[in-house]
Amino acid sequence: MMMDELSGNDGFAPIVSEQAKVLILGTMPGTTSLLKQQYYGHPRNAFWPIMTALFGIGAGLDYPLRAEMLSNNGIAVWDVIQHCRRLGSLDANIDIASVKVNDFGVFFIRYPLITQVFFNGAAAEKMYRTHLQPALQDRFPYLQYRRLPSTSPAHASLSLEQKIESWRVIKASMVD
């Protein structure tokens, strides 16, 4: 596949366990993540360094272990989009007419302990609020939403330290 072609992409299954209390939502895995078959697989994406700072999940650990450690900490990770066509990795290049969203109605029934939804950036929030929230808000009125700064290397206006500080709200939200 040439990177300058508009290509169809399918997202990943969620990282989730029965103990999940928090859901972190992205839009759609980027090219590097799709090639690696890993959430946040781009080496300059700040997601795993942030998880290291918040939960001690070492970015250098192998991916299955990192995913397991997220689950053990009550964190679920998924994307709003199940399938789309996109040129490259930028959310701005998603062909909106091609978007098929994941089934969050089934997801929130299956994982009822999730009460906090954090968006990894503005694009994930916009996509969710446009395509999903109107149909879900009456069914799941207890869900609380918050947008966090994107961990994408394309979102370079904040330093890693500033992103970590913003993302600390996830850990704080998990204190009973």
Within a domain: 151: yes
Name which residue leads in pLDDT, 156 or 73.
73
State the Cα–Cα distance between residues 10 and 84, nearest whole angstrom.
Answer: 7
Within a domain: 27: yes
State the Cα–Cα distance between residues 39 and 15, nearest whole angstrom.
Answer: 9
State the pLDDT at residue 35: 87
Q: Which of 9, 45, 73, 102 is catalytic?
A: 45
Single-letter residue type at 14: P
What tokens were used for 71?
């689950």
Count of domains for the chain? 1
pLDDT at 170 over 60: yes
Neighbours of 18 (CB within 10 A): 9
Q: What is the pLDDT of residues 83-102, one digit of tens each?
A: 877 766 666 666 677 778 89
Mean pLDDT of all residues in the chain? 88
State the Cα–Cα distance between residues 72 and 121, nearest whole angstrom.
Answer: 24
How far, rounded to the nearest angstrom, does the alpha carbon of residue 24 sit from its chain's CA centroid? Answer: 5
- 3-class secondary structure, 87: strand
Q: What is the pLDDT of residues 33-63, one digit of tens each?
A: 888 999 999 999 999 999 999 999 987 899 9
Within a domain: 103: yes
Within a domain: 1: no
Residues 6 or more apart whose Cβ sits within 8 Å of residue 2: none
List the domain range (segments joined by +) for residue 22.
6-173
Which CATH number characterizes residue 75's domain?
Answer: 3.40.470.10
- The CA-based angle 84-27-151, given to 5 degrees, is 140
Specify whether 9 is catalytic: no
State the pLDDT at residue 3: 37
